[in-house]
Structure 1
């Protein structure tokens, strides 16, 4: 095997993609972090901000499978960069047009579409340069957690200092990381690892033609949809819950909002590592069970400190299955990796976004506490349904997606 890359990975490429993933998902976290400011400074209702959450997620979720299909068919690596730039532009404009709810809704929807464009193409690149393992996918995925975790602090700093009119400064991460991606791409450091002939596992044509298991993928999508309700709902309402129930300050409530994705980063890394060693389905089931218990702890927390601790626990447990779910989707649809990535990372989130206005209405008419009780119950249902899922080990070895040129083949034999 190539001694310079014993794991069959392009580590530089994987780290660069992880950084751009952080930048892209920074804007997912920024939208959520802006919601309390839209309530406090622009006088939006809970239902109105739930509508903004719908704008951020619904269009993104529907668009991602489309972008995934295009990635499968045409490659279109440029969508990573275009998506990152569009995501940053939409969020940057949101505060500048906060006097118009419709304008905010539109630019947030545009940002969501940008986020959608990024994910399938970037996930395919990460899968190629990372060798297709859950561990490599967890590293790429954790970039998203880090970006979401950094967003609340950045939003508080910017909006706290300049007000909503300062959101244009939030475009900086997209600009900087976009330039880094361009520079590294031109230096060819993002190309997939090249193995010589002795490194290549020979598989027969029959082994390479693995049939897509749409039934298993459908069950996984349903489980992921329930996951998304817990994720989107917690991101939308946890800070508002702390403010409403315990009258905490916006800054204190933002601690929970920051800890949630930060803890999710830890859960993603640990879950990916454990999935490679003990099995993906074990991690999926354990994560959903612990997540249901953590949401229940938030709902019945006796103090704001317990809310923060339980939110951190939820971040870890909810993201333990994350990388395993992505690689499971790839194993169920090995011939449609882009589409699997688009549905897994996008379409399933649409249910979380679609449920947001309903959860917002429940919060307006009853309480935010009831929202968390409902999410705990739905996550428990996800735990039960996870037992329908099955492991699939028949994914072809061509997961590494090695493509060597004729010149490289000649050099490997010389």
Structure 2
């Protein structure tokens, strides 16, 4: 029997890794889906469930750059599987121990830290398996969108039938896909160093450009505020302005991440063909127009259409921004991934209460005006960025000095 070619093995490895990304981010979505059950069945206050959200998101965002550093320094590619299992185990345990708020908080925090441990290692692996292209990164990224989208239905089905103790069944995606990925990639996962040899799209390693990376981080901060702000306020905006029911208002919220998945896939494909910065700028420009359309929308149907357009346009640059961060820090891929996917995205959550205060003091419509202005600033800042064509990674032996090789 003919053995698979290295290209075929990489392709299957990328698909398997994308599946684990769906499972991992499933647990991010599961936290939000579990909150109503904690309120209704465990009698938690709203302040208490807000604390659970903090345990899941804030700790994860802060921890991701730390795990990225560890990945750069020591390899530790197995963190993707360990993180996935921790993410699933924490959520599975949370409903079982619902009688103790402290125990639930710790369980959800463990899940959040598991999510944080997964992302840098898995993103580094996706970069290597996909040859550093934006298209392969968009495929890996959209796996996370799928996982978040599936979580509410799965949680309602399981907990609705078996009650909060039934949350133990939610560990099944982590176990099943973790086993599959280990079977496909066990040699890579447990190797002590990154394998030598350049992937198809790589060029020679370069030095880290922290100045460019900080500019990219500033651009991403405006993206984060628009993403979190829209997720938080778009349904409330339709209710406040057009007096529609919650069911009608939720249509826009449901379409937003679905359109984002389409934008992620399209943006990666377009970035490989027309250049990353062109797609980044196009995405931000279209996002400004979409936010303006939400502000000026004459009907709730127009809000739904504009929100779908916003989801697509906001996610067009997503994969390109990740690969740009890798090109700016070619010797710190884990740190770049941790900041880009974790710490930067948490900025939107920090600003969200301020946007809420603006909405309380005036109207939610003003919030969308502010977000449009911020994304316009991000569009302007994108012209400071340069498309640095390095595709390298850093190879490390444990405890030893970094050795630069071709990616």
Fold conserved (TM > 0.5)? Answer: yes
Q: Does 1:248 align with 2:245?
A: yes
User: Which residue of structure 2 lines up, in the alignment, with residue 174 of structure 1?
Assistant: 174
Look up the match of 1:213.
Answer: 209
Correspondence for 2:374 among 345, 354, 378: 378
1:237-259 residue CA offsets vs partner (Å, 9 max, x unmatched): 44555566645345x55544443
Work out whether 1:387 is the aligned partner of 2:380. no
| Partner Cα distance (1:106, 1:12) in 2 | 36
Aligned counterpart, 1:270: 266
The TM-score normalised by the length of structure 1 is 0.80
Deviations 1:119-154 (A, max 9, x none): 010011111111111111111111111112222333
| Residue 202 to residue 301, structure 1, CA distance change in 2 (3 Å) | closer
Partner of 2:113: 113
1:79: how far off?
A: 1.1
Structure 2 CA distance for aligned equivalents of residues 175 and 16 of structure 1: 13
3-state SS of the aligned residue for 1:212?
Answer: coil
Of 219, 222, 227 in structure 1, the residue corresponding to residue 223 of structure 2 is 227
Question: d(CA) in 2 for partners of 1:64 and 1:30?
Answer: 19
Where do residues 276-315 of structure 1 align in structure 2 (5 Å cutoff)?
276-299=272-295, 301-315=297-311
160-169 or 8-17, which deviates more: 160-169
Structure 1 unmatched runs, 5+: 402-414
Residue aligning to 1:82: 82
Q: 1:172 to 1:4 in 2, by over 3 A?
A: closer
- SS of match in other structure, 1:10: helix
Alignment-derived partner of residue 138 in structure 1: 138
Specify the alignment match of 2:126 in structure 1.
126
1:30/1:71 CA distance change after superposition, 3 Å: same
Segment of structure 1 superposing worse, 285-294 or 236-245: 236-245
Q: Partner of 1:154 in structure 2?
A: 154
- Give the TM-score taking structure 2 as reference length: 0.81
| Alignment partners' CA distance in 1, 2:71 and 2:189 | 20
The number of residues matched between the two structures is 391
Q: Provide the rounded CA distance (Å) in 2 between the counterparts of 1:256 and 1:120.
A: 31
Deviation of 1:70 after TM superposition, in Å, equals: 0.5
Instruction: Answer yes or no: is the 8 Å Cα contact 1:87–1:115 preserved in 2.
Output: yes
Does the 8 Å contact 2:331/2:393 carry over to 1? no
Q: Which residue of 1 aligns with 2:398?
A: none
Distance of 2:260 and 2:50 partners within structure 1? 22
1:16 matched residue in structure 2: 16
| C-alpha distance in 2 between matches for 1:119 and 1:78 | 11
Deviations, residues 282-318 of structure 1 (Å, cap 9, x unaligned) = 1111111222332344455454444433332222111
1:346 matched to 2:335? The reply is no
CA contact (8 A) 1:8 1:195 kept: no
CA distance in 2, matches of 1:98, 1:240: 30
Task: Quote the offset at 1:164 in angstroms.
Answer: 5.5
Contact 2:78 2:189 in 1 (8 A): no
Aligned CA-pair RMSD: 3.8
Structure 2, gaps ≥5 residues long: 396-407
CA distance in 2, matches of 1:162, 1:308: 35
Point out the more displaced range, 225-234 or 368-377. 368-377
CA–CA distance in 1 between the matches of 2:341 and 2:120? Answer: 8
Distance change in 2, residues 1:353/1:263 (3 Å) = same
